[in-house]
A and B are shown apart, each in its own frame.
Chain A
Amino acid sequence: MKKSILIISVLILLFNTACNNILNVEPEIYVSDNTAFTDDKSAYAALIGVYDAAQNYYGPNLNSHNVISDNVVNNTSPGNIIPTLTAAGSSGADPTGGGAYGSMYEAINRANSVIVKTAALSETVISTASKNQYLGEAYFLRALAYATLVKTYGGVPIVLEPTSSPTQDNGIKRSTAAENYAQILTDLDKAESLLSTTIVRNRANKWSVYALKARIYLYTEKWDLAEEQANKLISNTTFKLVKPYSTFYTTAKSDESIFELTFSAADKNPVYTNYLAALDGGRLDYIPEGNFVAQLLDPNLGGARKSLVKLQPDGKYTLTEYGKQDGSSSFFVLRLAEQYLIRAEARANKTTADLVGAVADINLIKTRSDVPSFVSTSATTKQDILLAIEKERRYELGFEGHRFIDIVRTNRAAKVFGDLNPLFTNPQRWVFPIPYGQLLADPDLVQNPGY
């Protein structure tokens, strides 16, 4: 009897220890947020995580901008060229997919973590050179995410601190677009001061900062500054307009590339499935719009850019730009051709207009695609040149998410899109609605008027 009690007591003691082992389980594939960010190596891994987030939001946002424009249509309703945006539902209900609002803030939170936590690391665990590089890249990537947000929805909430509690950002309301642009330029200035001039075409460096600055100045109509930034890239002969036109998307990190997000078979760019037919392994969600296809095929308009589309056995044309079936197509975020067209537009618009320079820039782009040059006559006005730039941007950058914002920022949407969908005569429709689910989750968010 006493013996059995002794045995039982020993068993209970063993049992108590066993219980603690069973209840104190540590995750095997995750780490605690307290230990995730401690040294050079972990800071670098977190920076890579920001690029990963950029990969994630870039495709869905690109698709939204393509579909809302007159360049791309939903395969199911090719006749509905400029679809009507609706805020209803999170995704699926909106014909464009909604613009990837949440994914962009995921990138911003990751960048915020790198910016705040890397800065806090002591010099014993990270060298100044590493610190500057990581911070510079993170500032650039945060600027890119905000730039993509503001071009999609107008002014959005500005969050600059990494999130540690779900209520931390309560009270942060939408900023104006101007405030967003100011923040983007602040980040780009910091990035410029921290980054090196070494060209790595799929990572942020001084050149990618200049190129994004040129675009931001163009959008905010700072013509001289836009030209100045574009000049920096155009005058660097390491950046070239590649020939034939298709080279920039058939080759990763081509000579034309300033900044692209690269992918591989192990880290796939899923967008190929959106644009390829079942025959080629896709689901063909989106196709180039019929009238636009006709223009691309026209040797006087599209020229070599006809390579962007491919004829299917059933008579449809599909897009080839993101069509690598192993998922290794890049997103071409910044490339030299855009810089020429930015400079052309800046030259034409600046106080002392340089129309000759503008036409020269347009013609460099046209010549590259074997299209007849734009010939200026005495009757050629600044308006004619701006329209020529608009057209050239459409052919040259047709599937890279520029068309919608180009027509909106030049105040041409009422005409160009309004003709196709009367709702667009109302300027309130010139931005995307904030997806409805986001409004429910965030009481600080106010819907864009008109939705």
Chain B
Amino acid sequence: MNQIVKAVFVLLLLIQFNNGYGQQKVTITGSVTDVKTREAIIGASVTIRGKAQGTVTDEKGKFSFTFDHPLPVTLQVNFLGYERKQVIIHDIEPLNVSLKEILNNLDEIVITGYAQTKRVAVTSSITTVSTEQISKASSTAITEKLQGQVPGLLISSNSGVPGTTALVRLRGTTSITAGNEPLYVVDGVFINNENVQGLSRGLGGQVSNPLSDLNPEDIESLSVLKDANATAVYGSRGANGVILITTKRGAKNTKTKINFQAEGGFAKAVNLWQLVTGPEHGEIVNAAWLNDGKSFATRPFRPKTEVIAGFPAWGNPEEQQTYDRISDIFRVAKLQKYNLSVSGGDAKTNFYLGTEYQNQEATLKIQDFVRYSFRLNLDHSITPKLKVGTSNSISKVNREVVRVGDGPAGLFQAALHSPTFYPVYNADGSYTKSGVFDNHIAILKNSDNHAYSLRSINNLYVKYNILDNLSFKSSASSDYNNYHEVAYYNTNLVYGQPAGEANDVTTIKQTLTAEQLLNYNSSFGEIGDLAVFLGNTVQTTGTERESLTGTGFPSNQFKRIASAAVQTASSTATQYGLVSFFSGANFSYKKRYNIDLNVRADASSRFGSANRWGYFPSIGTAWNISNESFFPKTNAVKDLKLNVSYGLTGNQDISDFASQGLWQGGSNYDGIAGTSPLQLANPDLKWETTSQLNFGLSGDLLESRLSFVLNYYDKYTRDLLLDDPVPTKTGFSSVTKNVGEISNRGIELSLNSVNINRDKFVWKTSLSISHNANKVEKLNSPISGSYVMYRVEQGQPLYSFWVYKYLGVNPQTGDALFEDVDKDGKITVADKQIVGNAWPKFEGSLRNTLTYKGFDLDINVFFKSGNKLFNYTAMFLESGGTRGTTRAIQKSNVNYWKNPGDVNVLPKPKSVVNADGSFNYEGQTSRLVEDGSYIRLRDVSFGYTIPKKILSRLQLTTARIYVTGSNLFTLTKYSGPDPEVNVGTGDSRGLVQGLDFGTPPQPVSFVMGVNLTF
């Protein structure tokens, strides 16, 4: 630590100020146009090569530039998406520069974390996505829009409810019990992506997505940093990849641009569950009763007149009515969205001001998502050397929520799991409750559960150009998250028994970051370029939570805790700090050989002082083969680059005090405060380290009409931060230790082609596809998730299903057959085996974009193959009458074994044990592990841009109207409503993926919109 401080000090000493300037003043005027369309290019930068001096073109594409450098000079004209042009100026005369649009940008600037590099010099695996490349579907969070667009970035929504979380994994899962989420950085601010929900009653596995506090419309581009060379500068948080988000900023010297977007549409859930009729229910349950050897006299579905105490009589099967509940809880959901932004700038200041209102209903009744957001980005040059700027976003998200599944008070349990023969209302009009579940209409009419998120992300920077090629930037950032949940359960609801209950929980999470950064760039002409950076960040994150509960209300009219008879409160707080130093250098030699070196040193308060510091170095090299003299100058292969990188990154995402031996309070009895041991000390606890080797090959083929990026990576994680199980005779169940190893190996390909490129008709195709193989290489002992069919085992991937292998039905007896692995004639726990996992073999997307005159069409198909799902809903609802009158039965269950010789049937309804110790409707069985592969028409967008001739009369610059359809069709073998589901987020350790249980499916939606620029 002290050594690093000294090093910084010495470096600062070495810096010499240089103020040499020439005397002669020269003014050059001119214009910049597009070579093809001949239209003016607004905001192109015009600079003297190798100097910081420059200007940008105005709204007419014109510029005027005064400098004091002797002629001749080389002017450099740059505009994003166009080839850079250099013009040598010998005389003072008007200049017309025409730029050519690049189909595949090699000189495009790539943001690599703390530095900016030309694509040609990049040695890392980084995917940059502009907003045109993301999904056109109306999503609340940017992550959902990225699905399938970035090879290696696996994104899967957990539910069809707007504003809920998605599974995001970049190049696999590197940890078992520590965090696996990528690091998100918005305009240089590390933002929180952790669940901030604290409601004690919970929402049944539904988690609000902290990323949906950000308006996707404000985003200019995203960079996904994948290999170790790119992520090592994020050190202890880089192992899961880094997603850098850049928001929109105004351009200098441009006319103020006003952009207005309005969008409205609707969504509908399709392909919902099919349940049995009342008579079918009675018939199956009676069959199970008799097969269990119980007496005919006490069968559940018998005439109501046959009263036997302790054995309720429901009436004969054929007398049963059928009540549909599922259609009661779904609706055609409306969604609307308005975005208004103003951007522009003069010679010194540029700004972007964005504001948004969005209201999305979920197709599941009650739930909705309303966001108001505001953004202000501003940069101002005080002097040519000194610049200040700020990026700010404030958003308010109001959600109405309801517990969905998992638990008797869940809306899904109430509607889907309540038996269909059970009436909704009693004869007196009151709600019928089937003993276990709440009444779905009672929930719909009485649910009162809201969450309010207030999020403010702010960054302020000062940048000083010490020399033309040496700059110092100092910034301060804050991410403030205030999540307020208010719930009231009145006496019509289960949780409101006997006299109402109210909860009020506020969670405040704030991250403060200070960052200092020195950047040095030097060009050695044709020989090459050198870029060096050195920096430091100091970060502290604190979380506080206050929970209030009130029970015993005078009546259902009183809803706030102030009116409750019993009022209880609790408050907690925790925090951690991180101090980091980092440095990197990139040298590019003759545009052929490039080398990158990066290192970061991180100290975290989460570890004991002995292991506080972690060091994360990386190296990357790239070889631009096509720039070699021996390489033929051909348009067939215009550019070819090979890059290799290796490095170390870390993970510190564990609880704030995991290394300490602690006692907790709150272990109370009889109104007296008590204490108890919480966790055992592990002073040796240190970073989890991931090494990653990456090979990349990229190139431009066929006159730049086809470009490709191919990557292979090999990630290996050691010293896993694992909640390692310990013998419970110690009084503890686990201790956080550095044990275990995991590998992720994968291959990623993206292809972009311009199939047709004519003046009026352009057709582009992009394909992205990736494969990841995950394997737990080393583990002391297997670990089970909170759902027992999941197991983490050495030699197997994470998210493996560990169940009894189902071999079908014995046609003679109707009993289920399971594989007897140890051949002892008994089905015991020793016969459970791993039968698959939730990882896809491959996934990706295929996108076609067509434009003809003013029309544009964008078709995005997402596909995923080889992943397994556990149909937990079917475990309950396809259980052959063994759950009696407490659960609904799926229609598929009517096809059960009835007579000897029956094949292709479900087992005989029976709840008692078979001779071999197995059960016909065993819950942990491969029968419920299904293929979750699917191909989905993710979105289709059709738009029309109104011709300029008409627009000019309306004072408009551009106008586009469009219609987008999402999830229009899905091809899958999965028997549930939707293969893109998971409720495993309820599992605190994240060991559960691919679990379908009472999850609202992804809806089919249509939106229409208009986008106007003034």
What's the nearest-Cβ distance from chain B to residue A54, in Å? Answer: 8
Chain A residues lying within 8 Å of B676, measured Cβ to Cβ, are: 46, 49-50, 52-53, 106, 110
Check: B64 CB closer than 8 A to any chain A CB: no
By a CB distance below 8 angstroms, the chain B residues around A293 are 309-310
A23 engages B883 (CB within 8 Å): no
From B12, B662, B787, A8 is in contact (CB under 8 Å) with: B12
A-B pairs, 7 with minimum CB distance:
A281-B497, A109-B731, A315-B312, A48-B674, A89-B788, A290-B310, A22-B577
**A292 to chain B: which residues have CB within 8 Å?**
310
A165 at the interface (CB under 8 A from B): yes
Contact B573 A92 (CB under 8 A): no
A423 vs B498: C-alpha distance in the bound complex, in angstroms? 42
15 contacts between A and B (CB under 8 A): A29-B572, A44-B672, A49-B667, A49-B674, A49-B676, A51-B674, A76-B887, A80-B292, A80-B911, A88-B788, A105-B728, A106-B732, A278-B433, A290-B309, A315-B312
Say whether A23 contacts B670, CB under 8 Å. Answer: no
User: If A105-B730, A277-B435 touch, does A25 touch B605 (CB 8 Å cutoff)?
Assistant: yes
User: Is the beta-carbon distance between B726 and A52 smaller than 8 angstroms?
Assistant: no
A86 CB contacts on chain B under 8 angstroms: 828-829, 917
| Complex alpha-carbon distance, A68 and B715, angstroms | 49
Residue of B nearest to A289 (CB): B310
Q: Which of B436, B730, B886 has the most CB of A within 10 A?
A: B730
Number of interface residues of A (CB under 8 A): 115
**Residues in B neighbouring A289, C-beta threshold 8 A:** 310
Q: Which A residues are in CB contact (< 8 Å) with B923? A: 93
Interface string of A15-27 (1 = CB under 8 A from B): 1101101111101
Q: Give the shortest distance, in Å, between B1 (CB) and chain A (any CB).
A: 7
Q: How far is the CB of B772 from chain A (nearest CB, A)?
A: 27
Q: Give complex CA distance A326, B577 in Å.
A: 41
Contacts of A444 in B (CB 8 A): 727
Q: Hey, which chain B residues are within 8 Å of A202, CB to CB?
A: 670
**Which residues on the A side are within 8 Å of B661 (C-beta)?**
32-34, 164
Tell whether A299 is near chain B: CB-to-CB under 8 Å: no
For A412, list chain B residues within 8 Å (CB).
Answer: none
Q: Say yes or no: is B927 at the interface (Cβ < 8 Å to chain A).
A: no
A52 touches B9 (CB 8 A): no
Once the chains bind, are B662 and A27 in contact (CB under 8 Å)?
Answer: yes
A-side contacts of B498, CB under 8 Å: 280-281, 325-326
Query: Is A294 part of the contact surface with B, judged by Cβ < 8 Å?
Result: yes
Residue of A nearest to B565 (CB): A265
Chain A 172-205 interface 0/1 with B at a Cβ cutoff of 8 Å (1 = within): 1000000000000000000000000000001100
Let me know if B438 is at the binding interface, CB within 8 A: yes
- In the complex where A36-B663, A163-B731 touch, is A437 in contact with B5 (Cβ < 8 A)? no
Contacts A25-B605, A106-B731, A282-B497 given; 16 further ones with Cβ under 8 A? Answer: A16-B2, A30-B660, A36-B675, A47-B674, A48-B668, A48-B670, A50-B676, A77-B882, A78-B884, A79-B912, A80-B882, A84-B917, A105-B731, A278-B439, A280-B498, A281-B495
CB distance from A187 to the nearest CB of B (A): 16
Cβ contacts under 8 Å, A314 to chain B: 312, 434-435
Interface centre among A163, A297, A315, by most B CB within 10 Å?
A315
Judge whether A30 and B664 touch: CB under 8 Å.
yes
Residue from the list A34, A79, A277, A421 in contact with B433, Cβ < 8 A = A277
- Asked whether B574 is an interface residue with its Cβ less than 8 Å from the other chain, the reply is yes
B313 on the A face (CB < 8 A): yes
CA distance A23 to B680 in the complex (A): 21
B434, B539, B576, B667 interface centre (most CB from chain A within 10 Å) = B667
C-beta contact mask, B392-419 vs A, less than 8 Å → 1, else 0? 0000000000000001100000000000
Give the size of the chain B interface in residues (CB under 8 angstroms): 110
A108 touches B672 (CB 8 A): no
| Mask of A145-182 contacts with B, CB within 8 angstroms, 1/0 | 00000000000110100111110111010000000000
A278 and B436 contacting across the interface, CB-CB below 8 Å: yes
Q: Name which of B496, B568, B672 has the most chain A CB atoms within 10 A of its CB.
A: B672
Closest Cβ neighbor of B294 among chain A residues? A79
A49 to B675: give the CA distance in the assembly, Å: 5
Distance (Å) between the CB of A325 and the closest chain B CB? 4
Instruction: Give chain B interface residues in 36-88, CB to chain A under 8 Å.
Output: none
- Whether B674 pairs with A23 at a CB distance below 8 angstroms is no
Residue of A51, A297, A436 touching B669 (CB-CB under 8 A): A51
- Among A23, A294, A317, the residue within 8 A (CB) of B579 is A23
> Does A254 lie at the interface of the complex (its beta carbon under 8 Å from any beta carbon of B)?
no
Q: Judging by beta carbons under 8 Å apart, are B672 and A316 in contact?
A: no
The answer to whether B663 and A33 have CB atoms under 8 Å apart is: yes
Distance from B420 Cβ to chain A, minimum over Cβ atoms (Å)? 15
Q: What's the nearest-Cβ distance from chain B to residue A365, in Å?
A: 23
Residues A22 and B913 in contact in the complex (CB < 8 Å), given A89-B784, A163-B730, A267-B669: no
Residues of A within 8 A of B311 (CB): 290, 315
How far is it, in angstroms, between the C-alpha of A42 and the C-alpha of B733 when the chains are bound? 24
Contacts of B783 in A (CB 8 A): 440
Say if the beta carbon of B833 comes within 8 Å of chain A.
no
Q: In the complex, how many angstroms separate the beta carbon of B565 from the nearest chain A beta carbon? A: 9
- Given A31-B663, A89-B924, verify A278-B494 contact (CB < 8 Å): yes
Contact with B along A85-110 (1 / 0, CB 8 A): 01111111100000001100110111
A157 to B309, CA, bound (A): 44
Given contacts A18-B538, A25-B605, A48-B674, contact A267 B731 (CB under 8 A): no
> Please, what's the 1-or-0 string for A65-82, where 1 marks a CB less than 8 Å from any CB in chain B?
000000000011111100
CB distance from B989 to the nearest CB of A (A): 13
- B538–A22 touching, CB < 8 Å: yes
Per-position 1/0 for B500-513, Cβ under 8 A of A? 00000000000000
- A-contact 0/1 string along B646-687, CB 8 Å cutoff: 000000000011001111110111111111111011000000
